[in-house]
Amino acid sequence: MSARLTIVVGVTGGIAAYKAVGVIRALVLDGHSVHVVATEAALRFVGRPTLEAISRNPVATDLYEGVAEVRHVALGQSADLIVIAPATANTIAKLAAGIADDLLGNTVLASTAPLVIAPAMHTEMWRNAATVANIATLRGRGIHIVGPASGQLTGADSGPGRMEEPEVIARVALRAAGVSPRPAATAVPEPVADVVVLSERRRANEAARLPRGGVDLAGRRVVISAGGTREPLDPVRFLGNRSSGRQGVALASAALARGADVVLVAAHLEVDPPEGVELVEVQTALELQSAVTEAARSADIVVMTAAVADYRPAETRDAKIKKSEAGETLTLELVANPDVLAGLAHDKRDGQVLVGFAAETEPDPSALIELGRGKLAAKGCDFLVLNQVGWSQGFATESNEVVVLRKGGDIVMEASGTKLSVADRILDVIA
Ligand code: CTP
């Protein structure tokens, strides 16, 4: 059970306000005390009784209620975490300017807790220079921005602007407060809120419109590197790593199922590659670099799941290194391998999507995300799939848990489950 937090959920006035119920529900089910602060506009979209029933607490809206107990600062001061979902363009602008003309604005200003916002608006509003500048300002202050997702909007249009799914927002928010959410499987087995069911149903409907496996990558050329490179020391020994290649192979299977032409650049896979891929087997980082770079010239999507050795022995002996010559200690001189991903980003052709992976041992969730953001910027790729690894985590397992960041550092998706289901979610983001 994770630590019990006091969480303020701000709900602002957009059509996605109905999905805020799912966010509140997820946080309550994770064992936290949730206090909703709704704007007047939000209550036009979702009823106060619903928010009170789901949060199990009274809903606050009015700046001038509870003046004696100084409610406008008390809520902010008591919060361990503030989540605003949905955050409209107007709310984002007010947050950027520090405007406190309602209870939510006051609560935010009176708080030093992590603030997570889930923007929701039409694509044009999201792309408007004012919103872009406001989001940059908020990000610069360390505010976490989740989404928006791309997809069908309220009208007939579609594009980026749809509020991220409630479960994702809840998970990202808890991580921002340094709490690992309980796995969904161990959550209280109550039916989830109707809105979550609705959004699942919509996803199912969207999937049903596609033939089996989806067609969204038909005719696309996808290059995937997988496994772990080995750098030979002598004819019998190498420097290697624990990557099994399972996540890369799962991505290859998922891309094939969507009709893509898949090149799998494989370094020592522990699992069989799927039938139907063009398989290029490599041993070392240098071999992997030349195979991937060559294949990438005609690729629409390049995904680097391979664990590439950062260093190789300065010298590879032709004969076995003997104990008699090394003595009690043996010092190896290593030289840096090229950064394949950074090179691909440098030479990327127009329209190509480049995806990196990062396996990190950092245990703190927010520090992990910051590491990922740094790596994404350093590598110059379009997306970075981040996961935590350890002695017993991440390698040679059938499941995975990832956070996907896009260029600029926004979290665009979180997924956990089998490596195949995670692969499918990753392809959804890329496609
Ligand atoms: N990568 C690469 N070439 C390298 C090292 C890594 O292309 N020489 C790619 C990996 O395939 C992965 C991404 O870069 O997609 C991140 O790899 P990771 O090992 O996490 O990062 P490093 O760059 O090696 O940085 P560090 O080990 O210092 O964390």
Report yes or no: 114 and 177 within 8 Å, Cβ to Cβ.
Answer: yes
Does any ligand 1 atom lie closer than 6 A to the CB of residue 303? no
d(CA 102, CA 274): 57
Task: Tell me the β-bridge partners of 304.
Answer: 225, 356
Where do the domains of the chain lie, and which CATH numbers do they carry?
6-177 (3.40.50.1950), 221-311+334-430 (3.40.50.10300)
CA distance 123 to 128: 8
Q: Where are the alpha helices (DSSP H) in 64-154?
A: 71-78, 89-97, 103-109, 123-127, 129-140
* d(C-alpha 147, C-alpha 153), whole Å: 14
How many other C-beta atoms are found inside a 10 Å radius of the C-beta of residue 311? Answer: 14
Of all atoms in ligand 1, which is nearest to the CA of residue 384? 15
For residue 146, is it left (φ>0), alpha (ψ between -120 and 50) or beta? beta
Length of the chain, in residues: 431
Coil, helix or strand at residue 403: strand
Q: How far is the CA of 254 from the centre of ligand 1 (A)?
A: 23
Compute CA 280 distance to the chain's CA centroid, rounded to the nearest angstrom: 29
* Residue 172 CB-half CA count within 13 A: 30
Which residues have a Cβ under 8 Å from the Cβ of 378 and sit 6 or more positions away? 342
User: What is residue 413's three-state secondary structure?
Assistant: strand
Query: Does the beta carbon of 243 sit less than 6 angstroms from any atom of ligand 1?
Result: no
Helix pair angle (166-176, 194-208), 10° resolution: 120
Q: What residues are labeled active site?
A: 241
Residue 148 Cα, ligand 1 centroid: separation in angstroms? 28
Q: What is the pLDDT along the chain (431 residues), one digit of tens a residue?
A: 456 999 999 999 999 999 999 999 999 999 999 999 999 999 999 999 999 999 999 998 887 776 666 667 888 999 999 999 999 999 999 999 999 999 999 999 999 999 999 999 998 898 888 998 898 889 888 888 888 876 666 666 666 788 988 988 998 898 888 887 776 533 333 322 222 233 333 333 333 333 334 447 888 999 999 999 999 999 999 999 999 999 999 999 999 988 899 999 999 999 999 988 999 999 999 999 999 999 999 999 999 999 999 999 999 999 999 999 888 999 999 999 999 999 999 999 999 999 999 999 998 888 999 999 999 999 999 999 998 887 767 777 778 889 999 999 999 988 888 888 899 889 988 88
Record the pTM.
0.59
User: Collapsing DSSP states into helix, strand and coil, what is residue 310?
Assistant: coil
The CA 38 to ligand 1 mean position distance, Å, reads 44
Write the CA distances from 70 to 11, 57, 94, 110, 204, integer angstroms: 21, 18, 22, 11, 46
